[in-house]
Amino acid sequence: MGQKIWIIGGSTGIGRELALQYAADGKDVVISARSEETLAEVAGIHPDRITALPIDVTDVPSISAAVETLYGDGAGPDIVILGAGAYQPMSVDHFSSEKAAKIMEVNYLGVVRVIEQVLPFYRKANAGHLVVLASVAGYQGLPLALAYGPSKAALINLSEGLRAEMAGSGISIQLVNPGFVKTPLTAGNKFPMPFLMEADDAARRIRKGIEGKSFEIAFPRRFAFILKFIRMLPYALSIPLIRKGTNQ
Ligand X SMILES: NC(=O)c1ccc[n+]([C@@H]2O[C@H](COP(=O)([O-])OP(=O)(O)OC[C@H]3O[C@@H](n4cnc5c(N)ncnc54)[C@H](OP(=O)(O)O)[C@@H]3O)[C@@H](O)[C@H]2O)c1
Contact partners, residue 128, CB within 8 Å, separation at least 6: 1, 78, 79, 80, 118, 121, 122, 170, 171, 172
- For the question of residue 182 being annotated catalytic, the response is no
DSSP of 17-63, one letter per residue? HHHHHHHHTT-EEEEE-S-HHHHHHHHTTSTTTEEE----TT-HHHH
In angstroms, give the least distance from the CB of 62 to ligand X: 8
When binding is defined by CB under 6 A, the residue of 18, 19, 20, 33 that contacts ligand X is 33
Work out the number of other CB atoms within 10 angstroms of the CB of residue 16: 26
* Parallel, antiparallel or unpaired: strands 77-82 and 171-178: unpaired
Cα–Cα dist 220/172, whole Å? 23
Does residue 118 contact residue 69 with C-beta atoms inside 8 Å? Answer: no
In angstroms, give the least distance from the CB of 29 to ligand X: 13
| 3 state SS of 170 | coil
- For the question of residue 152 being annotated catalytic, the response is yes
| Closest CA relative to residue 139, chosen from 220, 228, 234, 221 | 228
User: Does 224 participate in binding ligand X (rule CB under 6 A)?
Assistant: no
- Catalytic residue from among 22, 99, 148, 213: 148
Per-residue interface string for the shown chain with ligand X, residues 95-124, x marking contact by CB under 6 A: -----------x---x--------------
User: Does 172 participate in binding ligand X (rule CB under 6 A)?
Assistant: no
Exposed/middle/buried for 176, CB within 10 Å: 0-12, 13-18, 19+?
buried
When binding is defined by CB under 6 A, the residue of 9, 150, 209, 220 that contacts ligand X is 9
When binding is defined by CB under 6 A, the residue of 30, 55, 162, 227 that contacts ligand X is 55
When binding is defined by CB under 6 A, the residue of 44, 72, 184, 194 that contacts ligand X is 184
In angstroms, give the least distance from the CB of 152 to ligand X: 7
In angstroms, give the least distance from the CB of 27 to ligand X: 18
- Catalytic residue from among 139, 152, 190, 208: 152
* 189 or 214: CB nearest ligand X: 189
For the chain, the distance separating the N- and C-terminal CA atoms, rounded to the nearest angstrom, is 50
- Touching ligand X, residues 69-88 (CB under 6 A): 83-87
* 124 or 222: CB nearest ligand X: 222
Does residue 238 contact residue 140 with C-beta atoms inside 8 Å? Answer: yes
DSSP state, residue 87? -
User: Does 178 participate in binding ligand X (rule CB under 6 A)?
Assistant: yes
In angstroms, give the least distance from the CB of 81 to ligand X: 9
Residues contributing to the site for ligand X (CB under 6 A): 9-15, 33-35, 38, 55-58, 83-87, 106, 110, 133, 135, 178, 180-181, 183-186
